[in-house]
Copies of this chain bind each other. A is one copy, B any other.
Amino acid sequence: MLSQAIFTTSEMDDLFSSASQIKAMLAFESALAKAEYTEGVIPSAAAAVIKSVCASATFDAEDLEKQTLLAGNPAIPFVKQLIEKVKQRDAEAAKYVHFGATSQDILDTAMMLQLKTALTHCLEDLEQLEQKLALLAFSHRNTLMIGRTLLQQARPITFGYKVATWLDGVSRSRQRIEQIKKDNLTLQFGGAVGTLSTLGSPALSVKAVMASALDLNDSEITWHGQRDRFAEIVTTLGILNGSLGKIAKDVTLLMQTEIGEVFEGAAEGKGGSSAMPHKRNPVSSVFMVAIATRTPALVATFLSAMVQEHERAAGNWHAEWHVITDLVKLTAANLKHANDLIGHLEVDTNRMLQNLELTQGLIFAEDITAALSPKMGKAAAHTFVEQACKAALKEKVHLKTYLLEKTDILTQITEGVSDVGFGMLDVGNASKSLDALFDAKNAIGASTNFVDNVLKNKRINGVTNTL
């Protein structure tokens, strides 16, 4: 499909190619032989030959793929061919290839090794994304725009605040991925039924040595049937994709012709429409929305597949493989698109200001009510403002224009604003005027404080923000 590049990256395609999987399996076999020699299970000479063959052997991936259909999993033909290759060098050594291990040991461990690389990539991209988001939030800390709830204009915020909420979610996902990278990447090594029964007493020390050699965690017990470690990796990536999808959704909405507050950077040939010159089509954000639509079901599949029979499962283990790799590829692509998107996002601050005026002052009705309440009483203030809004709408004038003609009311507002007893009316100290009540920058509340909170200790322009 011509669209495949949307849903993966070349790094991840390489990482989850047959060739890379073979490489990871060779790493397993090599580490196994070495650990078994170290712990006195197999002869030194055999280990040396196996290690050497693992370092240089090449495999016919296509042939292995075909054999997999008969064997039931890729490890069986792989080991068979590896034994053959070792035998060609040293028949005695061939006896000790894969000694004591089972197919699931090698495949689970290879996946863990591949995931280590994948998570490292993701974390790099996430850190870049965080820096871009931090810079964007910082740059637009005070950029006024309307906040929207239920897709309706509600009250003013700053664009920096909006971006800071995005960053907030992404940062937590980055922390979660760091945590699972530390906790969940674990060696699988148990032999046929998980008991390492062919290794005798050195079994557990072989396992420990292998884990250390492969830089994976060791486990308390074989986990052939306990898939929660993989599951947590999968769900953690699932959550990240949700957070990225939210950013993308916001961008597609802000790019609407009728809103036009942000735009994807206009790379040559990107998103344009020659027939429709006014269109600035979202591209990266559309890809991100598509990915966020696809990832939840992969998570569900993995969780469904956790119900695995006895010591090794009849199907649900097989179901995991492509679910994990598809999810990782989608995640990596999502992060790539997100970096493209945020790194080149164009912000139309004028349009943001224009859109604040779209309701002709009605978005400030609540502020007027609050200013009137001290003198007028809350109920009366509310009734008055409600009627004023209706009248202004009907007469198609700005609410401020309408109010300016009600001189009796004006006094009460001014007094109300000056009569600061609490809350939002602090703002009155500064201006004590109707203008102040219709000035969006007086209505953004803690927007900038929240931005500052989120930016604390984040890197902005290469410098850690120690604010």
Contacts and interface: CB of A to CB of B under 8 A. Distances in A.
A169 B226 contact: yes
A258 interface: yes
Best-surrounded residue of A246, A292, A393 (most CB of chain B within 10 A): A246
B249 A308 contact: yes
A150 B270 CA distance: 14
B422 A42 contact: yes
A296 B300 contact: yes
Contact of A149 (B61, B300, B312, B382): B312
Best-surrounded residue of A152, A156, A287, A290 (most CB of chain B within 10 A): A152
Interface string A1-33: 111111100000000111001100000000000
A386 to B, nearest CB: 6
B239 A228 contact: yes
Interface in A167-204: 168-169, 172-173, 176, 191-204
Interface stretch (A209-217, A316-324, A409-417): A316-324
Nearest to A274: B382
Interface in A259-313: 259, 267-271, 274-283, 285-313
Given A232-B239, A297-B297, A446 B195 contact: yes
A404 to B, nearest CB: 18
A86 B176 CA distance: 44
- The 8 A-B residue pairs with the shortest CB-CB distance, nearest first, are A289-B315, A197-B445, A242-B306, A147-B193, A297-B297, A195-B445, A278-B362, A2-B74
A57 to B, nearest CB: 15
A293 B276 contact: no
A165 B396 CA distance: 35
Given A198-B423, A293-B305, A307-B242, A282 B95 contact: no
Nearest to A369: B275
Contacts of A299: 235, 238, 296, 299-300, 303
Nearest to A424: B198
A2 B200 contact: no
Contacts of A305: 293
A443 interface: yes
A232 B232 CA distance: 10
B228 A281 contact: no
Contacts of A53: none
B242 A228 contact: yes
A373 to B, nearest CB: 7
A194 B162 CA distance: 10
Given A3-B322, A286-B72, A299-B300, A309 B148 contact: yes
B275 A365 contact: yes
Given A199-B424, A259-B258, A309 B70 contact: no
Interface stretch (A115-123, A125-133, A449-457): A449-457
A71 B2 contact: no
28 contacts: A42-B423, A149-B192, A149-B311, A152-B257, A153-B257, A165-B224, A169-B228, A172-B229, A196-B446, A220-B454, A221-B451, A226-B246, A227-B246, A228-B242, A232-B239, A235-B236, A242-B304, A246-B306, A246-B307, A250-B310, A275-B369, A277-B386, A285-B314, A285-B315, A291-B319, A292-B315, A295-B303, A296-B304
Contacts of A173: 228
Contacts of A369: 275
Given A231-B242, A245-B307, 16 more contacts: A1-B322, A2-B74, A3-B65, A3-B322, A147-B193, A148-B256, A150-B312, A151-B252, A151-B253, A195-B447, A198-B445, A200-B427, A201-B426, A249-B307, A258-B358, A286-B314
A129 B43 CA distance: 45
A239 B246 contact: no
A154 interface: yes
Contacts of A355: 258
A349 interface: no
Contacts of A231: 238-239, 242
A363 B193 CA distance: 12
A331 interface: no
Contacts of A220: 168, 450, 453-454, 456
A227 B249 CA distance: 14
A19 to B, nearest CB: 10
A439 B286 CA distance: 31
Nearest to A173: B228
